[in-house]
Amino acid sequence: MNDELILTNARIVTDAEVFTGTIHAINGRIVSLAKGGTRAAGAVDCGGDTIVPGLVELHTDNLEKHFTPRPGVRWHSRSACLSHDAQMAAAGITTVYDAVSLGDMIEGSARQANLEAMIHTLGDMAAEGWFRAEHRLHLRCEVSSQNILDSFNGFLEHDGVGPMVGIVSLMDHTPGQRQFVHEDKYREYYMGKYGFNAEQMETFTKKQQAASVLYSDPHRCAIAAACQGRDVILATHDDATIEHVEEAAALGIHFSEFPTTVEAAKESHKRGMKVLMGAPNLVRGGSHSGNVSALDLAREGCLDVLSSDYVPASLIHAAFLLHHGPLAWDLPSAMALVSKNPAQVAGLADRGCIDVGKRADLVRVADTGDMPVVRSVWRQGARIS
């Protein structure tokens, strides 16, 4: 860690205002913010670039792409983790919850074949200090999977893995509901992803629907109960109806990720749950599954957190689009969706905004108007990109 960091001639975005000035950090913490410049020795002249808080990512499955860069290709575990980490840092993400899926709907999938290696390699390399960003685990639990409880409990109780688990989400990708209420979209997605023909798709669909009837409700309740009393944040996934939200609230859920309707998002807010949507949804202008758009939820005042999901660079891009786009949000409010708000959801009080006493997790951005360009990134005062 660098003992001292001074950034000057910078457009600083706090959670309350934007001003041109200087940030001074010592031993990884911000010790002062001042308007105006400084000629202090070692100060970095930012040339008027924008300084925003380090981004906090609650849900990204980007790691999987590095373990399986091509169908049938399994990459070296440590190399995959390092490549993923470098991509996170380059995108301005200083804290990341790596989302790994337990209980895949496809038996023998690459995702499941890589699961143990992904989780244990992340844990080992984080403990050894190899990463630029700070990595934690988000366990995505497919509740309709027959063996999900064995897998979930095994990781949660593992000495080297359990302490890294910060978020657990409850998913059910059964066709005809939640993300795939429109079965044509479900068929399009899985036939395209796995090369199913019509007959195979029909068999697969019936199997998933039968499994959901047997397992989804008891597994959802068991996993939620196992998280009680632990330092773990619970998320509900793809809620579509008022009933889904009521069920989540009864289970003690903390936030709702990717609700598929405006009604579900609004009801989540009424019940005190923050709403997370995908940054790619906002950048693209809509959901790839045909569900509600993130921009619509922003207009309705029920969008709290953005996640890069499957495109790391989308996180900061989406925040700046909220600022420069038709909604014309002020920059502190837009940046809160990718820094302050996710940090609060995750219970990370030491980061998420630029303020005295907070971690010096900082991103230098060239604001081109069209899209932001990340120039430099610091985590706890040490440059990581």
Instruction: Look up the CATH superfamily of 55-350.
Output: Metal-dependent hydrolases (3.20.20.140)
| pLDDT at residue number 159 | 82
SS3 334: helix
For the beta carbon of residue 39, count every other beta carbon within 10 angstroms: 7
Residues 163-191 have a mean pLDDT of 75
DSSP code for 179: G
| pLDDT at residue number 174 | 76
Handedness of CA 164, 348, 261, 327 (dihedral sign): negative
pLDDT (tens digit, 9 = 90+) per residue, 179-225? 555 566 666 666 666 677 878 777 877 777 777 777 889 999 999 99
CATH class for the domain made up of 1-53+351-385: mainly beta
Q: Which residues pair with 26 in a beta bridge?
A: 4, 29
DSSP, residue by residue, 103-172? S-SSTT-HHHHTHHHHHHHHHHHHHHT--SSEEEEEEEEETT-TTHHHHHHHHHT-TTTGGGEEEEEEE-
Are 303 and 277 a contacting pair, CB within 8 Å? yes
> Chain centroid to CA 146: how far?
26
pLDDT (tens digit, 9 = 90+) per residue, 99-157? 999 986 566 556 678 999 999 999 999 999 999 999 999 999 999 888 899 999 999 98
Map out the domains of the chain as residue ranges: 1-53+351-385, 55-350
pLDDT (tens digit, 9 = 90+) per residue, 67-83? 999 988 999 999 999 99
What kind and span of H or E run contains 98? strand 93-102
DSSP code for 353: S
Q: Could you tell me the two tokens for 95?
A: 């804290």
pLDDT at 1 over 50: no
Rounded Cα distance between 65 and 181, Å, is: 27
